[in-house]
Amino acid sequence: MTADDRSLIRHTGRAFFPIAFVARLPFAMMVVGVLTLVVSVTGSVGLGGLTSAAVGVGVVIAGPVIGDAVDRFGQRRVLVPLGIANGLLLGLFPLVVTVSDSPGPVLAVAAAIGLSAPQAAAMSRSRLMGIIRLRLRVEQQPRTLSRVMSYESAADETAFVIGPFLVGILAAAFAPWAPIAIAAALSLVFVTAFALHPSGRIAAAARASGQSEERAPMSQLLRARVLVLVAATFGVGLFFGATLTSLTAFAQTAGDGVEAGLLYGLMGIGSAVLALAVALLPTRFALRHRWLVFAVVLAVSAAGYAASTSLSAVVVMLLLMGLGVGPTLVTLFSIAGYRSPIGRSATTMTLLGSALTLAQALASAVTGAIAESGDVRLAMMLPTAAGVLVLVLGLVNLRLERRERSAPRPARSDGAEVDITGAEREIPAPSRR
């Protein structure tokens, strides 16, 4: 378990990254796939939104519990049964929607899908953070961690784009149940492969040898510096859910609702590209400032989306919205990587992931109810409110940073002093004699 000069990818192996990416697709396809299937079978956008909300409620209830269990027992022992259970429930869902005469069973299975969601993205971040801290030399850690957070957030954003895009393509080309069936297969195969990947042995070996980090109390997760990130990620989730559902309603007025997934994918073109490009931004462009700048882009473009009356205008605004939402998500998870309490990285990441999914589902339910009442224009205004919320929280974060920079900075157990901006500088490690 000694550190060496090898790069991170030498420690993980090249197969880790594609496996980890595909393993997060079922999570990205759940809310959209459930919404598309229910709307297609029942014709009710309102019920589709409620079903998506049930998925989100299950995710937010189980997310912190799963994160804490992983921090205690390791990813392999937790993710293998979750991946199998989630895949089976996803496979069962189309049958329940088709044969059920009431919404009760549909909502119950949807909630169970959320409860069993493995959240591979949060687990990938946590695993890589553990490898960096255990296997890389101290002088390598800050830069590698920054790049990993950028990559992981870009991968998340790409998955959240590809997921809805796949849902739209599969639903249009085959049947509305096809995306859920594919998500079930991916969960069974790739989540299990991710859980059993050899990279997961490093953290297990660290626990066995007694070299794992001490675990901060859960109360550290309730500090303002963490909660502001959870709230902002919740705002991004509201944006995702309100945009998708209002777009579904808009597409229904113009044709077939399954086209919403294809239109939604347009937002991800600029989003994914710019999210990947965030790693190239200069370090002097501080994370707190990135949050504000890209949140402004998000809010302004969402206002343009709300004012759009034609399909061409909606397409243009979706492309512009992607330029704001991708980098914002990258920034939030990058800051979270630095602010995670000691030994609570998996819990922190699942909190943010749960907030994202819950907000997406709740926004889908509210937006669906508004659209169902016939007020599609009002539904299209909700993403603007979400964008403004993310911007306001960015200002709150700025105030928190100024307050904490004036206070003494805590030192990490590995000898790095961390401030709230996410910058690290090496300080002498305490004597072990």
How high is the pLDDT of residue 193?
92
pLDDT at 282: 77
List the domain range (segments joined by +) for residue 377.
Answer: 16-205+219-426
Say which residue the tokens 């980090």 belong to: 213
Quick one: tokens of 173? 């080309």
9: in domain: no
Give the chain's count of helices (H) and strands (E): 18, 2
Quick one: DSSP state of residue 220?
A: G
Q: What is the pLDDT of residues 345-377, one digit of tens each?
A: 677 877 887 788 778 778 877 888 888 787 888
Q: Which residue has the tokens 């209002």?
A: 246
Say if 318 falls within a structural domain.
yes
Question: In this structure, what are the phi and psi dihedrals at residue 411, rounded to the nearest 5 degrees?
Answer: -100, 135
The DSSP line for 247-291 is: HHHHHHHHS-GGGHHHHHHHHHHHHHHHHHHGGGS-TTS-HHHHH
Q: Is residue 10 part of a domain?
A: no
Q: For 187, what's the count of Cα atoms within 13 Å in the CB-facing half-sphere?
A: 29
Judge whether 28 lies within some domain. yes
End-to-end alpha carbon distance in the chain: 20
Does some domain include residue 240? yes
| Domain CATH code at residue 81 | 1.20.1250.20
pLDDT at 330: 80
Is 431 domain-assigned? no
* pLDDT tens-place string over residues 307-342: 988 888 888 898 899 888 888 888 888 788 778 777
Q: Answer whether residue 407 is part of any domain.
A: yes
Q: What is the pLDDT of residue 402?
A: 86
Q: Is 320 within the bounds of a domain?
A: yes
> What backbone phi and psi angles, to 5 degrees, belong to 92?
-80, -25
Tokens describing residue 110 = 């949807």
Largest CA distance in the chain: 73
Phi/psi class of residue 299: alpha, beta or left (left: φ > 0; alpha: ψ in -120 to 50)?
A: alpha
SS3 358: helix
Give the pLDDT of residue 214. Answer: 62
Per the listing, tokens 């997760």 go with 221
Q: Which two tokens stand for residue 383?
A: 């993403």
Task: Work out how many domains the chain is built from and give that number.
Answer: 1
Low-confidence ranges of the chain (pLDDT < 50): 1, 207-212, 258, 412-433
The confidence score (pLDDT) of residue 204 equals: 60
Q: Smallest Cα–Cα separation from 273: which of 327, 200, 225?
A: 327
For 380-412, write each residue's pLDDT tens digit.
Answer: 999 999 999 999 999 999 999 888 877 665 554
Total-model pTM: 0.72
